[in-house]
Amino acid sequence: MKSLISAEAWNGQVRAVRRARVTPGQGCIIEQTPNGCILSGAGKIRWRHPWQVSAQWNVDPTIQPLGGQWTATLWPGFVNAQDVTIEVEVASKPNVQKQPVQVPLTEEDPPLLILSGFRDPAAPGLPQASDDGDIIIPPGEGYPKFFDSLGVVPASNGGTGLGALDSTPDPTRTRQIRGCDIALVTPRLATHQQVDVLDPGTDAQSVSISTVFDNTALINAKSAHWLIATSKWEPPMEPTDLDRLMGTAVEPQTDEIKIATVWLVSPPDVGSDAQPDETWTAYPQHFVFWNLNYASRAQISAAPPQPLKLVTGLALGVADTLINGLLSPLNDANAEVSAMLNAANFSGRYWSI
């Protein structure tokens, strides 16, 4: 007796077989045989993940007093399958002033990202004053524990009083450390709130909060996504609920994510004010290892609520003006709450699969 298999069952078995099938990869070769798969591969191979950073010292006699600068190249990564760029200055012709150009990471000659600013994560923060009038010295930012074994100077513990600026040195740890962050930037549509002043007598409302769209950064961007280097990256400041309640919310026109930090470690016995040169050693620390997807929330704001009015026509309309004036505080409060609850939100998110 012949039995038939349904298309659904057949497709399920095919998917199960495909999931169990060995697939080749970088440095890995397979050979299908009736008795199974023969797997062979390279004994040693270096795998480069997207956004992998390589830092190097570039000699440039025009840069004084160091005679060069630290730069970085990145193994190509993609956002929404689009190229990511680095802005470099190039001259189209000899003896012509250089112009900034966005160069994709996929170029045969990879663009160099200049690491132009460094921070000292071991140094204490800026002095602050407490409510009691005491001087408070915040502790140093710190760095990955890996660098302790290299003899990097300890981070400042901070404390109270100017004496906290002077830390007890450790004679076994005399190497200095500097950091520079690399971030990915994506321009986007943004909004800001606008407050219009009205006449309480005729409009029954003294303020109206509306939303204005701003695409300046988006239309002026020379690339959909690009990389920057900064001494210490901070995420763009998003408006708070209080900002939206007061009608002062202003969205940033870019979304950003930190890709990596390049740590530079000095030779032993270097001063705390030393600048990184060719004698220092670079150690990249990565935060993103895969290609990215990106999307904006594109949450459109609701229209401002219509103010509550009471039209009676009493006393030749004079009563209407008085009533509208009494309703104005109520309508103002309603407009503020509505602006907070129904505010636009175009902030984006990055994710990987």
Q: Per-residue pLDDT tens for 21-71?
A: 777 776 778 888 888 788 887 666 677 899 999 999 998 888 888 789 999
| 163 and 283 housed in the same domain | no
| 186 and 157 housed in the same domain | no
pTM here is 0.75
| 157 and 298 housed in the same domain | no
Look-up of token digits 């002026």: 220
48 residue type, one letter: R
| 271 and 335 housed in the same domain | yes
Mean model confidence pLDDT for the chain: 83
| 146 and 216 housed in the same domain | no
pLDDT value at residue 250: 87
pLDDT value at residue 308: 65
Q: Identify the domain boundary among 170, 195, 224.
A: 170
| 164 and 263 housed in the same domain | no
| 310 and 188 housed in the same domain | yes
Residue 320, pLDDT above cutoff 60: yes
Strands 113-114 and 128-129: unpaired
Q: Looking at the domain assignment, is residue 346 inside a domain? A: yes
**H/E run at residue 39:** strand 36-41
Query: What is the domain extent for residue 144?
Result: 128-170
Model confidence band, residue 353 (pLDDT cutoffs 50, 70, 90): confident
| 249 and 298 housed in the same domain | yes
Q: For residues 310 and 312, what is the distance between their CA atoms, to the nearest angstrom?
A: 6
Q: Per-residue pLDDT tens for 154-165?
A: 988 877 766 656
| 149 and 275 housed in the same domain | no
pLDDT value at residue 292: 96
In degrees and rounded to multiples of 5, residue 287 shows phi and psi of -120, -15
Please give the average per-residue pLDDT across 214-228, as a whole number.
Answer: 92
Q: For residues 57 and 282, what is the distance between their CA atoms, to the nearest angstrom?
A: 9
Q: Looking at the domain assignment, is residue 80 inside a domain? A: no
Q: For residues 178 and 121, what is the distance between their CA atoms, to the nearest angstrom?
A: 7
Q: How many Cα atoms sit within 13 Å of 168 on the Cβ side?
A: 0
What 3-state class would DSSP assign to 203? helix
pLDDT value at residue 54: 95
| 163 and 220 housed in the same domain | no
| 166 and 187 housed in the same domain | no
- Pick from 330, 298, 279: which is nearest to 66 by CA? 279
**Contact indicator for 263, 177 with CB cutoff of 8 Å:** yes
How many domains, in total, are found in the chain?
A: 2
Residue 315, pLDDT above cutoff 80: no
Q: Identify the domain boundary among 170, 196, 229.
A: 170
Q: For residues 215 and 296, what is the distance between their CA atoms, to the nearest angstrom?
A: 13
| 192 and 163 housed in the same domain | no
Q: Looking at the domain assignment, is residue 322 inside a domain? A: yes
